[in-house]
């Protein structure tokens, strides 16, 4: 069962939570997939999403790429959620560490996923630690960019319909990195 470890209030009445658990168990409007540009979901978070949600997610992803081409960092794609307990999967393409411009690419990937959540009129969305797995982005650096981008988005988007954003992390190393950065940004804790 997923457990809320930390919570903060963002501008416009948005709640941000740091959660220990499995992203594929999130009962939110959409979960964000840490995707590659061709939406081939074989490993990491993407692989877990397809294993739990079913092959329909990969089929819809393939159709998306055929219709629109590779997904850029700044503009997420979306599919249905198959057997997952959410409505949509938002596919955000984070950078591969070492390709250049990684910080900016991660920022626009997170920002673009939130913009798409608003375009879909969603109230809740859950993120993984985009790019920190097989893409090799340093965890603490990614944590700072992801958390600051979420805070920045809602300070600029007062009309957002999103009310709840969850960062859902399954492994203790990533959770520790995000928790440490969180504590430099907010001091609210859930006990």
> What are 150-189's pLDDT values in tens digits?
999 999 998 999 999 999 999 999 999 999 999 999 875 4
Does 57 reside within a domain? yes
pLDDT in tens, 48-78: 999 999 999 999 999 999 999 999 999 999 9
Amino acid 29: pLDDT: 98
Amino acid 163: pLDDT: 97
Domain count, the chain: 1
Does 113 reside within a domain? yes
Does 125 reside within a domain? yes
Does 88 reside within a domain? yes
Contact between 45 and 104 under an 8 Å Cβ cutoff? The reply is no
Whole domain around residue 25: which residue ranges? 3-170+177-185
- Spatial neighbors of 118 by CB under 8 A, at least 6 apart, are 157, 160, 161, 162
Does 190 reside within a domain? no
Amino acid 12: pLDDT: 83
Amino acid 53: pLDDT: 96
Share of the chain above pLDDT 70, in %: 97
CATH code where residue 18 lies: 3.40.220.10
**Nearest partner of 164 among 185, 145, 174, 150, judged by Cα:** 150
Amino acid 158: pLDDT: 86
Amino acid 68: pLDDT: 96
Name the more confident of 38 and 189.
38
Does 191 reside within a domain? no
Does 105 reside within a domain? yes
Share of the chain above pLDDT 90, in %: 92
Amino acid 186: pLDDT: 85
Please say whether the dihedral angle defined by the alpha carbons of residues 10, 102, 173 and 117, taken in this order, is positive or negative: positive
Confidence of residue 191 (pLDDT cuts 50, 70, 90): very low
């Amino acid at each position: 069962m997923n457990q809320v470890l930390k919570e903060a209030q963002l501008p416009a009445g948005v709640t941000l939570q740091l959660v220990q658990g499995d992203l594929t168990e999130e009962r939110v409007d959409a979960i964000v997939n840490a995707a590659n540009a061709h939406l081939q979901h074989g490993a990491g978070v993407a692989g877990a999403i397809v294993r739990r949600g079913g092959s329909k997610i990969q089929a819809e992803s393939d159709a998306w790429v055929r219709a629109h081409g590779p997904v850029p960092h700044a503009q997420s794609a979306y599919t249905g959620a198959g057997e997952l307990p959410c409505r949509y999967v938002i596919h955000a393409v984070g950078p591969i560490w070492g390709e250049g411009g990684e910080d900016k690419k991660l920022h626009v990937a997170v920002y673009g996923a939130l913009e798409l959540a608003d375009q879909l009129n969603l109230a809740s969305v859950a993120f993984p630690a985009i790019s920190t797995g097989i893409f090799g982005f340093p965890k603490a650096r990614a944590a700072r960019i992801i958390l600051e981008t979420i805070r920045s988005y809602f300070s600029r988007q007062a009309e957002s319909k999103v009310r709840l954003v969850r960062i859902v992390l399954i492994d203790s190393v990533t959770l520790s990195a995000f928790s440490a950065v969180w504590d430099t940004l907010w001091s609210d804790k859930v006990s």
